[in-house]
Structure 1
Amino acid sequence: MATRKPSIDQDLIRDLANILNETDLTEIEIEQDDLRVRVSRAGTVQTVHAPIAQHQAPAPAVPLQSATASAEAVATAAAKTANTVTAPMVGTVYLSPAPGAKAFVEVGQTVTEGQTILIIEAMKTMNQIPAPRAGKVVEVMVTDGHPVEFAEPMIVIE
């Protein structure tokens, strides 16, 4: 019996990748019928089809970005990841203690370990997020009043 080769909807993958870029999510996954597609910032898209028989293996991962990324770009991304403060919970992020108040931190500011850098509201509770280390704020990756996902990058401290 001949098996049909499933076609991959490249427009769907592009749309999911655009959603990742627009929302700064690290991963998104959808499932429809026997097709599941996951796109992550790690650079891979995985397509898995429900097995028809015991011996059928899932489809291989398809690279989302070129496999010829330079070593310098990889090293820069790794350093940025190591210095990135990620969301410890899902909620709404606030960059200041009250509407209209000055932000806890700004790009270029030096922070100390334990200093409050932002607030995440989860289940009507305001959770102060402290700086995990002392350093200089080089990037704020979230927008005041917008939702954040667990492990979403928020602030880079070098």
Structure 2
Amino acid sequence: MDIKEIQNLIKFVAKSGASEVKLEMDDIKITIKTGSESDTTIVHQIPATQVPQMAAVPTVAEPATSATTTEAAATTEENSKYITIKSPIIGTFYRKPSPDKPLFVEVGQTIAEGDVLCIIEAMKLFNEIESEVSGKVVKILVDDSSPVEFDQPLFLVDPS
């Protein structure tokens, strides 16, 4: 696992709202905790040859987390007129039914109530997520093949 992957993991945990995530692999253990005392705390137990490299991660991650929070607050204000479609389950988000098929929806596309927007895979079950509103897709908030949490925003829809 390299620095970029660890930084991406930190950003994902910060966005997801999870309070603690533990990851153990053969040669590395990572615990990421979020809370009111500090934005992100990382504990690494890895071979000594990599310790100086990993020590820089918290310094890099903390400003990114606070900048992300500021951007999220500004985005929330401008997106308040839109309806947010959220994930009903934890799983992996997919924008198309299979790799060789077209996307379910794209930005700018008009959708109707009951249209399939995406699939969320949970425990090897593929769950179609249907729209509960009609309108125009303004923004897709999750990348394809990304893990999503319960109640995580997936789409912004303009109902007008």
> Under a length normalisation based on structure 2, what TM-score does the superposition of the two structures give?
0.57
Structure 2 counterpart of 1:157, one-letter code: V
The match for 2:80 is 78
1:23 shift after superposition: 6.3
CA contact (8 A) 1:25 1:149 kept: no
User: How far apart, CA to CA, are the structure 2 residues paired with 1:27 and 1:100?
Assistant: 33
Structure 1 counterpart of 2:17, one-letter code: E
Gaps of 5+ in 1: 1-14, 32-36, 39-44, 49-63, 66-71
Structure 1 counterpart of 2:106, one-letter code: E
The match for 1:123 is 123
User: How far apart, CA to CA, are the structure 1 residues paired with 2:16 and 2:80?
Assistant: 15
Q: How does 1:5-16 map to 2 (within 5 A)?
A: none
- The answer to whether the aligner puts 1:19 opposite 2:10 as a matched pair is yes
- Larger relative helix fraction: 2
Q: How does 1:4-153 map to 2 (within 5 A)?
A: 19-20=10-11, 22=12, 25-30=15-20, 38=34, 46-47=36-37, 75-80=77-82, 83-153=83-153
Structure 2 counterpart of 1:101, one-letter code: K
1:19 shift after superposition: 3.2
Structure 2 counterpart of 1:154, one-letter code: L
User: How far apart, CA to CA, are the structure 2 residues paired with 1:130 and 1:19?
Assistant: 30
1:29 shift after superposition: 2.1
Larger Rg: 1
Judged with a 3 Å threshold, the aligned counterparts in structure 2 of structure 1 residues 126 and 106 are, in CA distance, closer, same or farther, namely same
Judged with a 3 Å threshold, the aligned counterparts in structure 2 of structure 1 residues 132 and 90 are, in CA distance, closer, same or farther, namely same
Gaps of 5+ in 2: 1-5, 22-32, 39-65, 68-73
1:142 shift after superposition: 1.3
Pairwise CA RMSD: 3.4
User: How far apart, CA to CA, are the structure 1 residues paired with 2:14 and 2:105?
Assistant: 20
Structure 2 counterpart of 1:149, one-letter code: E
User: How far apart, CA to CA, are the structure 2 residues paired with 1:86 and 1:24?
Assistant: 17
Structure 1 counterpart of 2:102, one-letter code: K
SS of match in other structure, 2:103: coil
Q: Deviations over 1:124-153 (max 9, x none)?
A: 111110011000001111122221111111
Judged with a 3 Å threshold, the aligned counterparts in structure 2 of structure 1 residues 73 and 96 are, in CA distance, closer, same or farther, namely closer
